Amino acid sequence: MNALLMIAWRSGWNRRATLALVAFSIGLSTFLLLGFERVRADLRESFSQSVSGTDLIVGARTGGVQLMLYSVFHVGGATNNIRMDSVRAIEQNKSVGWVVPLSLGDSHLGFPVLATTPGFFEHFQYGYRQHLALASGRLFDGSLDELYDTVVGAEVADALGYKLGQKITLSHGAGGPGGIEHADKPFTVVGILQRTGTPVDRTVHISLEAMEAIHLDWAGGAPMPGVAIPAAMARKFDLAPKQVTAALVGLKSRAAVFGVQRFVADYPQEALMAVLPGVALDQLWDVVGAGEKALLALSALVAVVSFAGLVAVILAGLNERRRELAVLRAIGAGPRQVLMLLLAEGSLVALLGVGIGAILVAASTVGLGPWIQSQYGIVLSAAPPSDEEWKRVGEIVLAGIVASLIPAWRAYRLSLVDGLSPRV
C-alpha cells in the first residue's frame, strides 16, 4: 500500500504541471463551497446576534420580515408610521415592561440616523443579552439642553474619523447627490459606542425631539419655502413626536408575548402589527433560503466541472502510461493494485485541491474580513471549520474519490487486457 502511495505521488509529481492546474480548479470550487458556507453561517449569526432581549417589534402593518429589516437592520423603509398615542397605549399594557420608540428615515454620509429615547441605550441588547456601552463620551438625556447631541456607533466614528465634539449635519432621507442637508441645525458628537458587530455600529443616534426639531420647517418631505426656524428657536416649539416608525417592546414576562402580540394586532385605533424577532428572522431565512439553494447548486456545479477536469486529465494521460502499467504488472502488481494506484492519484489531487481551497478561505476571511465588516457589517469569523464545513469538506473529498474511480476503473480494464504487452 505504501509502495502504491509512493508511486502515485512520484508519478503525479512527474505530471505536476497539469495536475496542479486541476488541483487549483478543485481548490477554487472548494473555496466557493466553503466560503459560501462560511458567509451564510456568519450572516445568520450576525443577524440573529443583532437583537436580543427585545420580545416584540411593533410597527405599521406590513410583512414581519420587512418590519424587522427596517427597524433593526435599517434596510428598506416603512410603509407607514405609527402614532405615538398607540405606542403609549402599548406601554400601558400591564404585561409590557418597556417600550422604546424608533424613528428612522434620515442619514449621515450613508449611515442611517436613528431617533429614539434614552431608554434605547438602557434596554437594547444584542448578542447574548449584552447591553450597549460607551467607548467614550456620554449619552444624551432627551432634554432640550442636549437637543442637538448625538451618539454614534463605533463604525461611524472609525470610518469618518469622528472624535467627541465633532460637528455634523444630517441629510434628509438617504442623502447622496441631490439630497437636502439639515445644514441649519448641526449636531455635536457627544458619545461613541463600543463596537458590537451589529447595525448599531453603523448608526447615528439622536433623540426623538431632535428629529422633530430638524423637520419643524419642513412639510411633505421638503423645506417650506420662506420658513426657516433657527436651531435655538426650535426649542420653543412643541417637540413631542406625534409619529414614529416602529417600537421595540420588552415584556415583564415572556409568557405574555402572544397575548401582547394579539393586543397590538387588535388595537382598534390603528392598524398595527407586532412580530417576534426570532420568528421574523426565521421567515427571513425562508426567503433567503431559496437564493441560498440556487447559489449552492451553482457552486456544486462548479465543483462537478472541476472534477470532470480531473477525470479528463487523468484519463487522457492514461493511454501514454500503458507501458507504465505493464511494467507494474511485470513487477507483480495486480489489476486491483493498478486500480488503487490511479484511485490514490486522483484522490491525492482532490485532497490537495481541497487543501488549497481551505487555505484560500482561511486567508480571505483573515485578509478580507475587516473590509467586509466595514462595507457590509457582516463579521466573518476566522474560526476553525465548523461541523457543517467539515461535512462539506468530506463531501468534496468523497466526490473526488468517486471521480477518481473512473480513470481507476479504466486503468484496471487496461491492465487486465494488456497484461505484459501493452498495445501502444
Partner 1 sequence: MIQVRDARYRWPGAASDCLLIDSLALAEGASMFLHGPSGSGKSTLLGLLAGVLVPQAGDVTLLGTRLQGLSAVRRDAFRADHVGYIFQQFNLLPYLSVEDNVLMACRFSKLRHQRAVAAGGTALACARELLEGVGLDAGLWRRKASELSVGQQQRVAAARALIGAPEVVIADEPTSALDAAMRDGFMRLLRRECARAGSALVFVSHDERLAESFDRVVSLPSVNRAAVRPAREEAVA
Q: How many CA atoms lie within 13 A of 198 on its CB side?
A: 23
Q: Which residues of 341-378 are buried (b: 16+ CB within 10 A; e: fewer)?
A: bbbbbbbbbbbbbbebbbebbbebbeeebeebbeeebe
Q: What distance in Å separates the CA atoms of residue 202 and residue 132, rounded to the nearest whole number?
A: 13
The H or E element that residue 60 is part of is strand 56-60
User: Residue 300, Cβ neighbours under 10 Å: how many?
Assistant: 17
Q: What are phi and psi of 111, to 5 degrees?
A: -90, 135
With contacts defined by CB under 8 A, name the span among 35-43, 98-106, 332-340, 402-410 that binds partner 1: 332-340
DSSP 105: -
Closest CA to 339 of 328, 330, 349, 354: 328
With contacts defined by CB under 8 A, name the span among 163-171, 249-257, 321-329, 339-347 that binds partner 1: 321-329
Q: Shortest gap between Cβ of 286 and partner 1 (angstroms)?
A: 54
- Cell of residue 380, nine digits: 466573518
Q: Which of 337, 347, 365, 404 binds partner 1 (CB under 8 A)?
A: 337
With contacts defined by CB under 8 A, name the span among 37-45, 80-88, 159-167, 320-328 that binds partner 1: 320-328
Q: Shortest gap between Cβ of 11 and partner 1 (angstroms)?
A: 6
Instruction: Verify binding: residue 335, partner 1, rule CB under 8 A.
Output: yes
Q: Which of 199, 329, 340, 360 binds partner 1 (CB under 8 A)?
A: 329
Instruction: Verify binding: residue 331, partner 1, rule CB under 8 A.
Output: yes
Name which of residues 3 to 42 contact partner 1 (CB under 8 A).
3, 6-7, 10-11, 13-14
User: Residue 188, Cβ neighbours under 10 Å: how many?
Assistant: 15
Instruction: Verify binding: residue 324, partner 1, rule CB under 8 A.
Output: yes
Query: Residue 90: what residue type?
Result: I
Instruction: Verify binding: residue 213, partner 1, rule CB under 8 A.
Output: no
Q: Which of 327, 368, 383, 398 binds partner 1 (CB under 8 A)?
A: 327
Q: DSSP labels for 28-94?
A: HHHHHHHHHHHHHHHHHHHHHHS-BS--EEEEESS-HHHHHHHHHS--S--SS-EEHHHHHHHHHST
- Cell of residue 157, nine digits: 466614528
With contacts defined by CB under 8 A, name the span among 160-168, 335-343, 371-379, 380-388 that binds partner 1: 335-343
Query: Residue 20: what residue type?
Result: A
Q: Which of 163, 254, 293, 336 binds partner 1 (CB under 8 A)?
A: 336
Q: Shortest gap between Cβ of 9 and partner 1 (angstroms)?
A: 10
Instruction: Verify binding: residue 419, partner 1, rule CB under 8 A.
Output: yes
Q: Which is nearer to partner 1, 240 or 420 (CB)?
A: 420
Are the C-beta atoms of 75 and 69 separated by less than 8 Å?
yes
Q: Which is nearer to partner 1, 10 or 236 (CB)?
A: 10
Q: What distance in Å separates the CA atoms of residue 349 and residue 357, rounded to the nearest whole number?
A: 12
Q: Which of 138, 293, 323, 391 binds partner 1 (CB under 8 A)?
A: 323
Q: Which is nearer to partner 1, 172 or 329 (CB)?
A: 329
Q: Which is nearer to partner 1, 14 or 253 (CB)?
A: 14
Q: Which of 94, 129, 236, 423 binds partner 1 (CB under 8 A)?
A: 423
Closest CA to 202 of 77, 134, 108: 108
Chain contacts with partner 1 (rule: CB under 8 A): 2-3, 6-7, 10-11, 13-14, 323-324, 326-337, 419-421, 423
